Amino acid sequence: MISSNKTFLVILIAVVVTASMTYGITRMTIDKNSNEVRDAEQKQPLYWVAPMDPNYQRDKPGKSPMGMDLIPVYEESESAMDTGPGTVSISPDVVNNIGVRAAKAELRAVHSKITTVGYVQYAEDKLVHIHPRVEGWIEKLYVKAAGDPVKRGQALYTLYSPELVNAQEELVLALNRDNTRLSKAAEDRLNALQIASTVIKQIKQTRKVQQAVTFYAPQKGVIDNLNVREGFYVKPGVNLMTIGELSTVWVEAEVFERQVEQVQVGQPVTMTLDYMPGRKWLGQVNYVYPTLNSETRTVRVRLRFDNEDYLLKPNMFAQVDISTGEGKERLMIPSEALIRTGEQDRVVLALGDGKFKSITVTVGQIGESFVEITSGIEPGEEVVTSAQFLIDSESSKTSDFKRMHYEDTPSQSVWVEAKIESIMVEHKMLTATHSAISEWDRPAMTMDFTVSEHVDMSTLSRGTELNMEITKSGTNNFEITEINIKGNKDDVMTGGADNNTGAGSDEKMESMQ
3-state secondary structure of 44: coil
In whole angstroms, give the CA distance from residue 376 to residue 442: 23
Task: Name the band, by pLDDT with cuts 50, 70 and 90, for residue 48.
Answer: confident
Task: Please report whether residue 296 resides in a domain.
Answer: yes
Give residue 272's domain range: 248-323
Q: In this structure, are 393 and 422 located in the same domain?
A: no
Q: What is the CATH number of the domain that holds 159?
A: 2.40.50.100
Tens digits of residue pLDDT in 231-256: 999 999 899 999 999 999 999 999 99
Q: What pLDDT is attached to residue 240?
A: 93
In whole angstroms, give the CA distance from residue 403 to residue 477: 12
Task: Give the domain-ending residue among 359, 389, 405.
Answer: 405
Min mean pLDDT across 220-224, 238-242, 363-367, 467-471 is at: 363-367
Q: In this structure, are 357 and 428 located in the same domain?
A: no
Are 336 and 386 in contact, with CB atoms under 8 Å apart? yes
Q: Which sign, positive or negative, has the C-alpha torsion 82, 88, 90, 95?
A: negative
Task: Please report whether residue 119 resides in a domain.
Answer: no
Q: What is the CATH number of the domain that holds 339?
A: 2.40.420.20
Are 88 and 65 in contact, with CB atoms under 8 Å apart? no
Task: Please report whether residue 212 resides in a domain.
Answer: yes
In whole angstroms, give the CA distance from residue 100 to residue 88: 13
Task: Please report whether residue 18 resides in a domain.
Answer: yes
Relative to beta strand 477-485, strand 445-451 is parallel
Segment 341-357 mean pLDDT: 87
In whole angstroms, give the CA distance from residue 176 to residue 241: 38
With 0-12 CB in 10 A as exposed, 13-18 as middle and 19+ as buried, what is 495?
Answer: middle
Residue 117 has pLDDT above 50, yes or no: yes
Task: Please report whether residue 165 resides in a domain.
Answer: yes
Give the amino acid at 317. F
Task: Please report whether residue 145 resides in a domain.
Answer: yes
Task: Please report whether residue 125 resides in a domain.
Answer: no
Q: In this structure, are 230 and 139 located in the same domain?
A: yes
Task: Please report whether residue 194 resides in a domain.
Answer: yes
Segment 303-326 mean pLDDT: 89
Q: In this structure, are 11 and 89 located in the same domain?
A: no
Residue 83 has pLDDT above 80, yes or no: no
Q: In this structure, are 498 and 400 located in the same domain?
A: no
Buried b or exposed e, range 188-217, using 16+ CB within 10 angstroms:
eebeebebbeebbeebeeeeebbebbbbbb
Tens digits of residue pLDDT in 258-294: 888 888 898 999 999 988 888 999 999 999 999 999 9
In whole angstroms, give the CA distance from residue 391 to residue 90: 9
Tens digits of residue pLDDT in 147-174: 899 999 999 999 999 999 999 999 999 9
Q: Is 383 left (phi over 0), alpha (psi -120 to 50) or beta?
A: beta
Task: Give the domain-ending residue among 323, 349, 365.
Answer: 323
Q: In this structure, are 234 and 144 located in the same domain?
A: yes
In whole angstroms, give the CA distance from residue 466 to residue 56: 22
DSSP 8-class letter at 143: -
Q: What are phi and psi of 281, to 5 degrees?
A: -110, 140
Q: What is the CATH number of the domain that holds 424?
A: 2.40.50.320
Task: Name the band, by pLDDT with cuts 50, 70 and 90, for residue 513.
Answer: very low
In whole angstroms, give the CA distance from residue 119 to residue 132: 31
Q: In this structure, are 227 and 314 located in the same domain?
A: no
Q: In this structure, are 228 and 140 located in the same domain?
A: yes
Are 251 and 321 in contact, with CB atoms under 8 Å apart? no
Task: Name the band, by pLDDT with cuts 50, 70 and 90, for residue 94.
Answer: confident
Relative to beta strand 88-89, strand 221-224 is unpaired
Are 109 and 218 in contact, with CB atoms under 8 Å apart? no
In whole angstroms, give the CA distance from residue 340 to residue 333: 14
Q: In this structure, are 483 and 441 located in the same domain?
A: yes
Domain count, the chain: 6
- Residue by residue, DSSP assigns 348-398 as EEEEETTEEEEEEEEEEEE-SSEEEEEES--TT-EEEEESHHHHHHHHTTT
Task: Give the domain-ending residue among 377, 405, 433.
Answer: 405
Beta-bridged to residue 222, according to DSSP, are 149, 244
Residue 1 has pLDDT above 50, yes or no: no
